[in-house]
Structures are given as structure tokens and as C-alpha cells.
Amino acid sequence: MASYIRAGLLASNLLTTVLIGKKINIYSKRNAALLMLILLICSVIGLFTEDAYITYFIFPYGTIQFFMITKKFNSWILPTLFFVMQLCLIMNTWFLTVDIPRILISDFPFLTRSSYVVLTLFIVQNLLLVLCYFFLKLINQKTHFWNFFVYQNRKLRFLSIAILIVFIALIVLYIQATIDQNVKILLYTVLYIDILCLLITVITHNSFEYQKKNDELEILSEAYLIDQKKREISNEFQHDFKALLIALDNCLKENSITDARILLNQIIADSQDMFSSNEYAQINRLENLPIQGLILNFLKECSKNNLSVKLKLDSIPKNLRVDSVDLVRCVSILLNNALETTIDLDGDNQKKIIQLTVENDGVDTLCFSITNPVDKKVELDALLKKGFTTKIGHKGIGLNTIKKITRESEYINLYIKQTNHTFISELVVSYSS
């Protein structure tokens, strides 16, 4: 096969993966356009050169792609896995459509000179990639293996570097075996790459299940500790309650209304913790691990800063029309804004209350509503501008980021409003019924 045909087909395969990456929000529109331009330039270079090593352009291309994804997600493992998955699919596609026919058909290199054969390869290869995308999407909906890495707090640099070194070595071996037409090395290389991808998939799935169980255990543990604390308070209160009632009765008999009110207020104050709701127990209702993790961390931060939180949570449908990455980013920004704004207010933190509601209308709409106290009004239009912030040392990119996400999707909308003392943000998400 001529080098310019090989370069053109590889560029078309990578272009298909760029479109898939844009579909799953791996790239922004600008980055996707830049990658497409790079692929076009490489195809043109391949057209005017007979250099057999033109296909090595995949490595500088992969480097640019790697840093694009790293910058967006602040993660090393995510671009590494995407690159591995991307090239694994492309290599298997080439193995099925080019390498096997070349092994079985002796004059296959001559057949590839025909424009009809090249067009057939172009259609079949990219169709296979699209089918693989839908297959992986179906698997991800059941296993959530991709989300496991999207929401990783750790960058996992060393693991990413190790995977890249092994995989790049196999890619170089595959390309060299293709150029040298060494069938034996070609077969072994594809086999090793498939085994590596399968191993990564199995480890990812097991890690996800392990993290899921740990998160569920953490939520249950927090709920249990709160219930246990309530039982202790209840036991203490029961011991003192009879004495308080006797004292209250004596005050009323003596017509000492002031002392009676003081005792009554003391009874109410002492029993307040006993009757407060266990917010942690509601988190499992969501049935969405990333959002559960967000709210769990939010509650911990509020508890650390002695802030009160009121939750009202409905289950989150699985068939959301928005990308889960975008949803998590939006909810995370709103929760962080509410937390930081409330902490910065003057006064007793225990009297500051943040309200979080996740409401499912049961038809096609899910609403995240967050209400937090404020001490002054801010122009709503200014809040949505890039760089605006009321917090010292912050870049002011939160609500502007949500605005960009809502602009690109009709299935997610942000509504904000405020009064003299409260700020309310509502994130409305559509789902298929």
C-alpha cells in the first residue's frame, strides 16, 4: 500500500475518533477543529511524499491531544486511556481490513492501487470505529468504567507514564512490522495490545466496583454515626426530661411565667439535635455515584465549617440527556460557590443554612436547586461574565463555565435569582422518559 494512502486512511480514522471525542466532550470545539487541521496537514504531506515513515505523525498528534485533554480534566490517566483505546481500535480495524487480507491475498498490495478498494477500506474502517464506539458506549452505561477515571481526584502520573511507554513501544513495533511486512511480529503485537487493553478494562472495572462499595460504606458509616449520636442525646435527654417537666410545672404553679419560658426554651434547645434529620441517609436515594460523592464531600465541608445543610433528594434518572461529566462540573461549581459564599459571611456559622434540593418531576425534568445566604446583592449579568468574582484569590470562572456548557446543550439550563438575603441557583436537566 502506498504511503500516502496509508497516511490518508490513518488520518481519516483519527478524524473519526476526534468526532467521537467531541461527542463525549473530551475536546472543546476549538481543540477538535485544531486536531482536524493537523490531520489535514498530515494527509497533504503524505500525498506529496513517498516516505514510508509518514505514519509516525501519530506520535506528535497524540502528544498534542494528550495535553489538550490533560488541561481540560486536570488528569493524566484520562488522556492516556483515551489514547490507548483510540489506537487499539484503529490497529484492530487495520488488522482486520488490511493486514489479514494482505496475508491471505498475495496481490492485495496491487489491489490497493484501485480507488474503489481504497474507498471501500475508508468506509469499512470508519464504520467499524463508529460501531465500536456504540458498543463501548453501551458497556459504559452498564459499568461506568469511563466515569471512574473522569472523577478521579488523583492524576496517576506514574501509572499513566508506564502505560504510555509500554503502549508506544508496541505501536512502534506494529508500524515497523507493517513496513517490513513481518507477519509474525504483526500478529504478536496486535495480540499483546489487545491483552493490554483487556487487562486495563478488567482492572478499571474492579477498581470502580471497589470504589463504589467504599463510597456506599462511607455514606452508611456517616449515617450510622449520626444515628448513634442521636441515640446518645436521646438517652441523656430522657434522663433530664422528667426533672425539667417537674421544674416547669412548679414554675407554672407559682405563676412564674418568665422562669417557665426560660425552662421551655432550654427543653427546645436540648431536644433540637435529637429531632434533626439525618442528611447522610438521603444520599443513597440519588442512585448516581458521582453526584453522591460530590454531595458527600459537600456535607463534610459544611460539617467542618459548622454550617447547617437541609437536603431534599429524589433519585436521578439514568437516561439523562446531558453528558455526566458536564453535569458533575456544573453541580460541583454551584456547591462550591454556595459553600465559599456562606463561609465568608459574618456571624455564627451554625445559624447559616444552605438548602440543596434535587427534584425529579417524574416526566422529563430534573432540577438541582441550591439556596445559600448572602449579605448583599450582586448584578446577575456580572456573575456570568468570565473573570468576575467576589472572592479574593479566585479567577471567577465558575458560572461562566456553566454558561458555556448550557450554551452548547439545549438539555441543561441555569437559572439564578436573589433576594436581599438569599441567592438561589437552579440547574434544570432534561432526561428521556
**pLDDT bucket at 396, cuts 50 / 70 / 90:** very low
Total count of domains within the chain: 2
Cα three-residue angle 424-426-427, rounded to 5 degrees:
155
| pLDDT, greater one: 61 or 348 | 61
Same-domain pairing of 208 and 283: no
More confident residue, 337 or 213: 337
Residue type, 83: F
Dist CA 23 CA 18 (whole Å) = 8
| Domain-terminating residue out of 171, 197, 213 | 213
Element (H, E) at 417: strand 412-418
Angle in degrees, CA 253, 254, 257, rounded to 5: 95
| pLDDT at residue 428, as a whole number | 94
Alpha-carbon gap, residue 161 to 78, rounded angstroms: 12
Query: 195, 213, 231: which is the final residue of a domain?
Result: 213
Distance, CA of 367 to CA of 365 (rounded, Å): 7
Q: Are 207 and 287 contained in the same domain?
A: no
CB atoms within 10 A of CB 135: 10
Instruction: Name the E strands within 257-394.
Output: 308-313, 353-360, 365-373
Cell of 89: 481500535
**Phi and psi of 374, rounded to 5°?**
-135, 160
For position 371, what pLDDT does the model report? 93
Task: Express each pLDDT in 250-288 by its tens digit.
Answer: 777 777 777 777 767 776 666 655 555 556 667 878 878
Q: Which helix (H) or strand (E) covers residue 234, if one does?
A: helix 183-253
Does 161 fall in a domain?
yes
Structural domain includes residue 248: no
Q: What is the pLDDT of residue 381?
A: 65
310 CB-near residues (< 8 Å, 6+ apart): 277, 279, 353, 354, 355, 356
- Please state, in angstroms and rounded to a whole number, the distance separating the CA atoms of residues 116 and 121: 9
For residue 146, pLDDT beyond 70: no
**Is residue 251 domain-resident?**
no
Q: Cell triple for residue 142?
A: 452498564
Residue 20: name the closest of 101, 77, 75, 89 by CA: 89
Last residue of a domain, one of 169, 189, 213: 213
Amino acid at 162: A
Q: Are residues 288 and 379 in the same domain?
A: yes
Residue with C-alpha cell 454550617?
Answer: 307
Q: Are residues 300 and 198 in the same domain?
A: no
Q: Are strands 353-360 and 308-313 parallel, antiparallel or unpaired?
A: parallel
Beta bridge partners of 357: 312, 369
Q: What is the largest CA-CA distance in the chain?
A: 113
Task: Specify the amino acid at residue 312.
Answer: K
Q: Where are the beta strands (DSSP E) in 337-411?
A: 353-360, 365-373
The range of the structural domain enclosing residue 330 comes to: 279-430
The SS3 of residue 75 is coil
Same domain, yes or no: 47 and 167: yes
Residue 246 counted as domain residue: no
Do 50 and 150 belong together in one domain? yes
Query: pTM for the full model?
Result: 0.66
- Model confidence at 112: pLDDT above 80: no
The stretch 336-360 carries a mean pLDDT of 84
Q: What is the pLDDT of residue 392?
A: 43
189/286 same-domain check: no
**Res. 393 pLDDT band, cuts 50 70 90:** very low
Quickly list DSSP for 70-107.
HHHHS-SHHHHHHHHHHHHHHHHHHIIIIIHHHHH-TT
Cβ atoms within 10 Å, residue 98 = 18
272-275: Cβ within 8 A, 24+ apart: 273/229, 273/230, 273/233, 274/230, 274/233, 274/234, 274/237
Residue 7: inside a domain: yes
Rounded to whole angstroms, how far apart are CA atoms 279 and 25? 33
Contact 354, 369 (CB under 8 A): no
DSSP 3-state of 397: coil
Q: What is the predicted pLDDT for the residue at 398?
A: 65
Judge if 53 and 166 occupy the same domain. Answer: yes
Q: Which contiguous run of DSSP H or E holds residue 2?
A: none
Contact call for residues 70 and 152 (beta carbons, < 8 A): no
Percent of the chain residues past pLDDT 70, beyond the cut: 80
pLDDT mean over 408-424: 87
User: Does a structural domain hold residue 376?
Assistant: yes
pLDDT: which is higher, 427 or 303: 427
How far from 300 is each of 306, 309, 335, 350, CA to CA, in Å? 10, 10, 12, 14
DSSP3 helix / strand / coil % (the chain, rounded to 5): 70, 10, 20
| The dihedral sign for the CA sequence 404, 409, 412, 418 | positive
User: Beta-carbon neighbour count of residue 263 at 10 Å?
Assistant: 19
418 and 324, same structural domain?
Answer: yes
Residue 221 lies in a domain: no
Residues composing the chain:
433
- Average pLDDT of the chain, as a whole number: 80
Examine the domain organization and report whether 290 and 150 are in the same domain. Answer: no
Give CA torsion, residues 85, 87, 88, 90, to 10 deg.
120
The pLDDT confidence band at residue 149, using thresholds 50, 70 and 90, is low
Higher pLDDT, 10 or 383: 10
Least confident of 53-57, 282-286, 312-316, 420-424: 53-57
Residues 289 and 207 in one domain: no
* Within a domain: 240: no
State the pLDDT at residue 201.
79
Query: In this predicted structure, what is the pLDDT of residue 207?
Result: 75
Q: Which of 404, 432, 405 is nearest to 141 (CA)?
A: 432
| In a shared domain, residues 155 and 289 | no
CATH of the domain at 335: 3.30.565.10
